[in-house]
Every structure is written in structure tokens, then in C-alpha cells.
Amino acid sequence: MGFQKDNAFFTGRLKSVSFAFKGAVKLITTEHSIMVQFSIGILLTIAGFYFGITKTEWLFQTMAIGLVMSIEGLNTAVEKIADFIHPNYDEKIGFIKDIAAGAVLFAAITAVIIGLIIYIPKFS
């Protein structure tokens, strides 16, 4: 039984959103790195309400959370594809996976800096 593409604009988009939602749920419920990032995002959202951060701070915080979770999701996809293509250890596959993990690190460092800029003044 093959997948048939839906060429109707509305129903096609609706199916795409449904697949994306399923993917997000799979990420949050099966991948430990995403579970950690999601939990941190929830804690920062609670902190944002507690400290009454400004609209601009909310924008930056939301973008930082979304950036980290998105890049983490892409990293997971790269790892899964690499493991599927070459299940045994391979130096070239390891190099590719390291690069994907490095992208997560850049996003995480950016998010930490944004968080420090927002929350350090709240403790002064």
C-alpha cells in the first residue's frame, strides 16, 4: 500500500501539518535530547511569566527555544539517516554526525547567551 500524494491545496497542507505534528510528538516522546530541550523550554516559559519579561524578551526567548529545538530535531534526523545508511561505525558517518551535533551546540550557546541577557538583570 503506497502513499498517494494529495494535490488539493487545502487537504494537502492539512496532511503536511498532521505529519509535522506527528514528527514533533515522536521527537518529544522518544528522543532524550529533545525531552531535555523541551523541559528547559517549559521552565524558561514559566520563568518568563514569573519575572514578567517584556514583549521583546519573549520574542527572543521564543526564538531561542524554537531554534534549539529545531536544530536538535534536524540533528536527530541526520543521526537516524546516518545510522540507517551505515549501521556500523564509520569515520565519515561519525564526521557527519559530529557536524550536526556542532550545529546544535551553536544554537544552544546562542540560547544560553539570550537567556543570560534576559535573566541576569532580573536578579540584580
Q: State which H helix or E strand residue 84 sits in.
A: helix 55-85
Per-residue pLDDT at 7: 66
Per-residue pLDDT at 97: 96
Are the C-beta atoms of 38 and 21 separated by less than 8 Å? no
* Segments in the chain below pLDDT 70: 1-7
| Rounded Cα–Cα distance for residues 21 and 114 (Å) | 27
